[in-house]
Amino acid sequence: MIYADDSIMRKGFPATAGSKMLENFIAPFTAEVLTRLDEPAERAVLSEFGLSAPGELPSPLLCNDVFGHVRRQAAKQGLCYLRPTYGTVSRYGLIPTACSMDQIGVAAKTPSEAFALLDKIRCGDDCRPPAAPPRRAAVTPPYADVYDSVLHILAYAEISANISRYDGVKFGFRAEGYTDLDSLYTKTRTEGFGLEAKLSAMMGCLVLSREYYEIYYEKALKIRAAVKSALSFDEYDILELPVESHLAVLCGLPSLTVDGVQLAADAGGEAWLRKAVGL
Amino acid sequence: MKYEVVMGLEVHVELATESKLFCACSAKFGAEPNENVCPACAGMPGMPAVTNKRAIELGIAAGLVTNSEIARVTAFDKKNYFYPDLPTGYQITQLFAPICRNGSVEIETAAGKKTITLKQIHIEQDAGKLVHDVCAGASLADFNRAGVPLIEIVSNPDFRAAEEVVAYLEKLRSLLSFAGISDCKMQEGSMRCDVNLSVRETGAKEYGVRTEIKNMNSLKAIAAAIEFEAQRHIGALETGCEELVQETRRWDDALGETFSMRGKEDAADYRYFPDPEIPPVPVGEDWIEAVRQSLPEPAETKYERMTGTLGLPETDARIITGSKNLSELFDKTLECYNNPREVVNWIIVELLAIAKGDNKGEDDVRIDCEKFAKLIELVDSKTVNRNTGKKILLKVFEGGVDPAAYVEENKLGMVSDAGAIDDAVREALAENDKSVAEYRDGNQKVIGFLMGQVMRKMGGKADPKAVSERLVYWLGR
């Protein structure tokens, strides 16, 4: 049995992304990843739009993980978590959290199980097959002390826009007892969203507001770009990072969290990760 | 005190693409409500945006016909606001890297020529349409238009009179429809115009308080709205009894007044940010060149060709180049029969008259150009006379008959045989002594009557020029 987070849609079945907002939403089409599996996946509700820590994870599990909640939970349970290069697994049919970092990954008991599942769902092949054993390094990547802030600023901004569509007008939850358009919006979003979703929307509006755009959002974009251009895999193939590090998510790198460490490779370098764990 | 009206325009034009800007739905006007809607343009989650390449091309084309600088890399941004006609809660538009900047458009009014400069042209999604059903006490949303690509053409505050605005819109319409960028139909909403207007004392450096006027759906309404709003500003400045505030005002065509639209637009913070999922689009020199090559001859160039090498009258050339449809019709017909003057005459005098009877005009009159050309040739070569030609034209227009075959079948061929005409003329003169006497007394007008008599004898198939010559000849004897 393979599990899929409830933000991965299967036509004709509920797809709630863990939100009351989508409690009556029936998926109008099937996510690309699910069509690549041999068997239908079992729905697993983790947390609202992946915004907070999930409970015990089933495995193997396909899910999107922007904030690292799943990665940390997997490590806690002794599972591994494999996040492929950004864009290599289709986002078609994934209810978005933060588009620039949304990426379906795999939580599994072993790296070999995780890679086997990834091979099924990914588009294309590993593009840089390694000739030699990977060189590992445990260096601190550039600007590492601000990754948490940068990730949250970018993610909040994107989430605030992505969940604007849940307004009670077209589909999903609509509150009762509204009197006009404003009260339809306000009541629906007040009752439909959980605390984390509301917090994300509020924070997103703040960092994108005319007053704070430059101070927060634009600066976060610049730092992300600076990290990407400063990061070089010339001296090593595998970067050993703490499980908590957001580097891979921010820069779209493939990473494998296993045995209490997060191994990251350059974009497209899944083959290095395989090699690093002896596969 | 003398006042000067200062205006800038925001013109929205729907691009003539087959599909919407970020999904594969049809972008055509006139479908049943919510017929052209998919999960993506209905705002459902899970369908990543895929940029319509054709929309970018038409944006490039718009830049080319307005002498704009075209971006080397163009990108999309999200503009956030809530409204039921906006399914996603944000509009995808271009703020930071629009497709075009710094263009210009030449206009001509009674006061002379003038250049209007453009700040930018950007591509964006249209919103849906709300229908407020009073009987049901409900508002209904139609998302057919949601996601249809638009360009917004933003001018600098270069306008000083309503005539300039009208001339500019007509010029834009001609430029854009000629290039196949948009059909620019104001009544169908594929061309919409917002006017930013302020008034200041003539000679003043500072601008006055600016208001934005929306909801005009004809050139007439735009001119009237400008006139009303300018007078309102002047009145406020002179009497001081009304305080002008920066705001958006809605034009009410029935009442002929503008009204404040407080609420939706005012003080909004749209929280623009670069769209995180739509990759920026590189626009290479070769792509721009390919678009340039694909553009049809601009109206101005065509006008110069028509009045120059083709030697046609300016008024005729103006009529033909005023409409993309007529221009194409002219070109295609000319290709089949190379007599520009006759082709223009037949289009303007005869074809448009027939079309009018069918409630068609310059922009939607259609005819098989090959058959049309054949018909003109038949008249020109005196195989049939002009009157018969008109009748056949109607047949071609209505049923697409083949003129040559039609003439053959109905024996409409014109008689230019001098002997046959002479016989008919002499017969007619013999039967109408009175008219002949009148003519010889100096009444030249009777020749028209005698012409008619001859033509009737010949079943309307005689060459009128030959008939008239022979008539004069025989009357003179």
B241-291 pLDDT, tens digit each: 888 888 889 999 889 999 988 654 556 899 999 999 999 999 999 999 999
SS (H, E, C) A159-201: HHHHCCCCCCCCCCCCCCCCCCHHHHHHHHHHHHCCHHHHHHH
Q: Give contacts of A 47-106 with B, CB under 8 A.
A: 91-96, 98-100
Say whether A164 and B90 touch across the interface (CB within 8 A): yes
Say whether B47 and A221 touch across the interface (CB within 8 A): no
CB B103 within 8 A of CB B118: yes
Residue A126 has pLDDT above 80, yes or no: no
Chain B interface includes A197 (CB < 8 A): no
Please report the pLDDT score of residue A85 as a whole number. 95
Each residue's pLDDT tens digit, A249-265: 999 999 999 999 999 99
CA distance B187 to chain A (A): 28
* Strand bridging mode A42-44 / A3-5: parallel
Nearest CA in chain A to B279: A100
| B-chain residues near A171 (CB < 8 A) | 42-44
Say whether B277 and A157 touch across the interface (CB within 8 A): no
Q: Residue A13: which pLDDT band, with cuts at 50, 70 and 90?
A: very high
Average pLDDT over residues A72-97: 96
Q: Return the half-sphere exposure (C-beta side, CA atoms, 13 A cut-off) of residue A3.
A: 17
Residue for token pair 């206009």: B107
Say whether A99 and B271 touch across the interface (CB within 8 A): no
- 10 Å Cβ neighbour count for B355? 18
CA gap B92, A68 in Å, rounded: 29
| B-chain residues near A17 (CB < 8 A) | 45
Q: Return the half-sphere exposure (C-beta side, CA atoms, 13 A cut-off) of residue B251.
A: 27
Say whether B46 and A169 touch across the interface (CB within 8 A): no
The dihedrals phi and psi of B19, each to the nearest 5 degrees, come to: -120, 175
Say whether B46 and A185 touch across the interface (CB within 8 A): no
Say whether A92 and B42 touch across the interface (CB within 8 A): no
Closest CA to B367 of B402, B337, B329, B324: B329
Burial B19-34 (b: 16+ CB within 10 A, else e): bbbbbebebeeeeeee
B46, B88, B269: residue with CB nearest A9: B46
* Strand bridging mode A238-241 / A136-137: parallel
Each residue's pLDDT tens digit, A29-57: 999 999 999 999 999 999 999 999 999 99
Nearest CA in chain B to A26: B44
Chain B interface includes A222 (CB < 8 A): no
Chain A interface includes B89 (CB < 8 A): yes
CA distance A176 to chain B (A): 16
A100, A165, A213: residue with CB nearest B89: A165
Structure-block tokens of residue A252: 């779209």
The dihedrals phi and psi of B25, each to the nearest 5 degrees, come to: -65, 150
Q: Which long-range contacts (CB under 8 A, 24 or more apart) does B228-234 make?
A: B228/B256, B228/B257, B228/B258, B229/B195, B229/B197, B229/B258, B230/B3, B230/B5, B230/B197, B230/B199, B232/B258, B233/B3, B233/B5, B233/B197, B233/B198, B233/B199, B233/B208, B233/B209, B234/B3, B234/B199
CA distance B134 to chain A (A): 15
Nearest CA in chain B to A217: B273
Each residue's pLDDT tens digit, A209-249: 999 999 999 999 999 999 999 999 999 999 999 999 999 99
Chain A interface includes B82 (CB < 8 A): yes
Q: Give B275 or A279, the one with higher predicted confidence.
A: B275
Which of the residues in chain B have pLDDT under 70? 262-267, 413-417
Residue for token pair 């580097």: A247
Q: Give contacts of A 158-187 with B, CB under 8 A.
A: 158, 160-165, 167, 169-171, 181, 185
Closest CA to A114 of A6, A265, A260, A270: A270
Q: Residue A127: which pLDDT band, with cuts at 50, 70 and 90?
A: low
Chain A interface includes B271 (CB < 8 A): yes
Mutate to test the interface with B, among A103, A170, A212 (most CBs of B within 10 A): A170
Please report the pLDDT score of residue B188 as a whole number. 81
| B-chain residues near A99 (CB < 8 A) | 48, 276-277
CB A64 within 8 A of CB A7: yes
| A-chain residues near B80 (CB < 8 A) | 160-161, 164, 208
Domains of chain A and any CATH numbers: 3-139+236-276 (3.90.1300.10), 146-226 (no CATH)
Chain B interface includes A157 (CB < 8 A): yes
Chain A interface includes B26 (CB < 8 A): no
Cross-strand bridge partners of residue B154: B10, B120
Structure-block tokens of residue B451: 């012409």
Assign 3-state DSSP to chain A and report helix, strand, coil percentages, each to 5: 40, 15, 50
Nearest CA in chain A to B78: A161
CA distance A168 to chain B (A): 10
Please report the pLDDT score of residue A129 as a whole number. 65
Q: How far is CA B389 from CA A5, B186, B409, in A?
A: 75, 36, 15
| A-chain residues near B39 (CB < 8 A) | 28-29
Say whether A213 and B273 touch across the interface (CB within 8 A): yes
Say whether A31 and B46 touch across the interface (CB within 8 A): yes
CA gap B324, B307 in Å, rounded: 17
Say whether A171 and B44 touch across the interface (CB within 8 A): yes
| B-chain residues near A189 (CB < 8 A) | none
CATH class (in words) of the domain with range B418-475: mainly alpha
Say whether A205 and B271 touch across the interface (CB within 8 A): yes
Mutate to test the interface with B, among A165, A212, A217 (most CBs of B within 10 A): A165
Mutate to test the interface with A, among B273, B275, B277, B278 (most CBs of A within 10 A): B273
CA gap B66, B58 in Å, rounded: 12
CA distance B47 to chain A (A): 5
Domain ranges of chain B: 3-285, 297-409, 418-475
The dihedrals phi and psi of B214, each to the nearest 5 degrees, come to: -125, 175
Query: What is the ipTM, given to two decimal places?
Result: 0.94
